[in-house]
């Protein structure tokens, strides 16, 4: 690990869930931050308080549009490419846009990083592993992805973006890295984005049935957003090219997660089973030895604490 510090960072998708946490963390570390976001899935409310900071600038624009890149002021020494619809509800609603930001958006971000001689980090995803035949998933696993299935617009967008980063680094010498982010949760998730944690919390707080797909036996390994941000920035500060898995170590079934959220909220909600989406992965857990050994990173926030923080945020947001 080189322990590099950055003075001026660009975060594409910085008004999104993880992106907004990255903007705040970088500002807190003393960096100037420019956020580029078209607000297709991000929100100005995620940037509450930041726009008054002298070191922060929000630019509304699409990462696939060359004009948006020309509008970005100055030189950056860090480019974090997080622009992309990330929930199934969003990328199924915006399939062409999802493919475009993984291809054209990634290319523009890489070219800006190379021009500015900046460190570049691509936000990739555990979805590149598809419905994995290897468990837990290591970075050397090639994945089991349906290239024409309903989830393919997201999966293949990220797989292409990884290939583009790798080629750019090899041919043009761009200082580029790939982080594969597993399911992340925490404050500032949208209640209606279709992912399990915000959906279950919103339903539990409303007293509505928690809608568990299939029989709920499919597993995920969730990571609290502060830990995910720690992992991303540890990779950014290093010389590692990746890909590096960043995700939680505790595997839980979706039925178990729903029951835990009911308990933590004190809700009287019941469980209602619904049809399981096509190509929904059966098991998902990262092997994070590489992040631990090369970056000194591992998750620190446990399930109870992370879920309690998230539930508290949703409760306060609903009351505001």
The pLDDT value given to residue 194: 85
- Please check whether residue 199 lies inside any domain of the structure: no
pLDDT score recorded for residue 1: 39
Q: What was the pLDDT predicted at 278?
A: 86
Instruction: Please state, rounded to an integer, the average pLDDT across all residues of the chain.
Output: 95
How far is 91 from 109, CA to CA, in rounded Å?
A: 20
In a domain, 123, yes or no: yes
Q: Looking at the predicted structure, is the pLDDT value of residue 281 above 80?
A: yes
**Closest to 9 in 3D by CA, of 82, 67, 65:** 82
Residue 125 pLDDT level (bands cut at 50, 70, 90):
very high
The model's confidence at residue 192, banded by pLDDT at 50, 70 and 90, is confident
Domain that holds residue 73: 8-185+224-249+284-300
Most confident option among 50-54, 89-93, 241-245? 241-245
Is 6 among the catalytic positions?
A: no
Number of compact structural domains in the chain: 1
Beta-strand runs (E) in the chain: 8-12, 32-37, 56-60, 78-81, 119-125, 176-181, 184-185, 210-213, 219-220, 223-224, 244-246, 252-253, 271-274
For the domain that residue 94 is a member of, what is the CATH number? Answer: 3.40.50.720
Task: Tell me the β-bridge partners of 184.
Answer: 223
Assess if residue 197 is contained within a domain: no
pLDDT at 304 over 60: yes
CA–chain centroid gap for 25, Å, is: 15
| C-alpha to C-alpha distance for 123 and 146, rounded to whole angstroms | 21
Q: How confident is the model at residue 318 (pLDDT cuts 50, 70, 90)?
A: confident
What is the C-alpha to C-alpha distance for residues 227 and 211, in angstroms, rounded to an integer? 27
pLDDT tens sequence across 226-253? 999 999 999 999 999 999 999 998 899 9
C-alpha 312: how far from its chain's center? 21
Determine whether 281 is exposed, middle or buried from the number of CB atoms within 10 Å of its CB (0-12, 13-18, 19+).
middle
Please tell me the least confidently modeled range out of 4-8, 297-301, 307-311. 4-8
pLDDT of residue 43 exceeding 80, the answer is: yes
Lowest mean pLDDT segment, chosen from 112-116, 135-139, 314-318: 314-318
**Per-residue pLDDT averaged across 306-311, rounded?**
96
The pLDDT-based confidence of 52 (bands split at 50, 70, 90) is confident
Whether 237 is in a domain gets the answer yes
- Spatial CA neighbour of 290 closest among 227, 243, 233, 222: 243
Is the previous residue joined to 255 through a cis bond, with omega within 30 degrees of 0? no
The arithmetic mean of pLDDT across residues 80-96, rounded, is 95
DSSP 182: P
Average pLDDT on 283-298 reads 96
Whether the model clears a pTM of 0.85, i.e. scores above it, the answer is yes
Catalytic pick among 6, 154, 185, 224: 154
Answer yes or no: is 190 within a domain.
no
In terms of Cβ atoms closer than 10 Å to its own Cβ (0-12, 13-18, 19+), residue 140 is exposed
313 occurs within a structural domain: no
114 inside domain: yes
In a domain, 94, yes or no: yes
- Residue 221 above 50 pLDDT? yes
> Looking up tokens 């990330």, which residue turns up?
86
């Amino acid at each position: 690990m080189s322990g590099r510090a950055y003075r001026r960072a660009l975060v594409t998708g910085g008004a999104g869930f993880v992106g907004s946490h990255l903007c705040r963390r970088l500002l807190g570390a003393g960096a100037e931050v420019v956020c580029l976001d078209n607000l297709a899935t991000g929100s100005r409310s995620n940037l509450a308080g930041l726009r008054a900071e002298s070191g922060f600038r929000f630019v509304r624009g699409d990462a696939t549009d060359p004009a948006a890149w020309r509008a970005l002021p100055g030189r950056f020494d860090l480019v974090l490419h997080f622009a992309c619809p990330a929930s199934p509800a969003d990328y199924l609603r915006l399939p062409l846009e999802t493919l475009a930001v993984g291809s054209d958006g990634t290319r523009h971000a890489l070219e800006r990083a190379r021009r500015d001689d900046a460190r570049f980090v691509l936000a990739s995803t555990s979805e590149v592993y598809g419905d994995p035949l290897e468990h837990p998933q290591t970075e050397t696993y090639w994945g089991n992805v349906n290239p024409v299935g309903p989830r393919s617009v997201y999966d293949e967008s990220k797989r292409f973006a990884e290939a583009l980063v790798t080629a750019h680094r090899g041919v043009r010498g761009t200082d580029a890295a790939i982080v594969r982010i597993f399911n992340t949760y925490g404050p500032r998730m949208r209640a209606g984005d279709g992912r399990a944690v915000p959906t279950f919390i919103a339903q539990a707080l409303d007293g509505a049935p928690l809608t568990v797909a299939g029989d709920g036996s499919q597993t995920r390994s969730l990571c609290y957003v502060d830990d995910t941000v720690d992992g991303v920035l540890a990779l950014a500060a290093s010389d590692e090219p990746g890909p590096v898995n960043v995700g939680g170590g505790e595997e839980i079934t979706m039925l178990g997660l729903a029951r835990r959220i009911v308990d933590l909220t004190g809700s009287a909600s019941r469980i209602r089973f619904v049809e399981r989406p096509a190509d929904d992965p059966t098991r998902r857990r990262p092997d994070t030895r590489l992040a631990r050994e090369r970056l000194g990173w591992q998750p620190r926030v446990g399930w109870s604490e992370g879920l309690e923080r998230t539930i508290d945020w949703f409760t306060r947001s609903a009351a505001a």
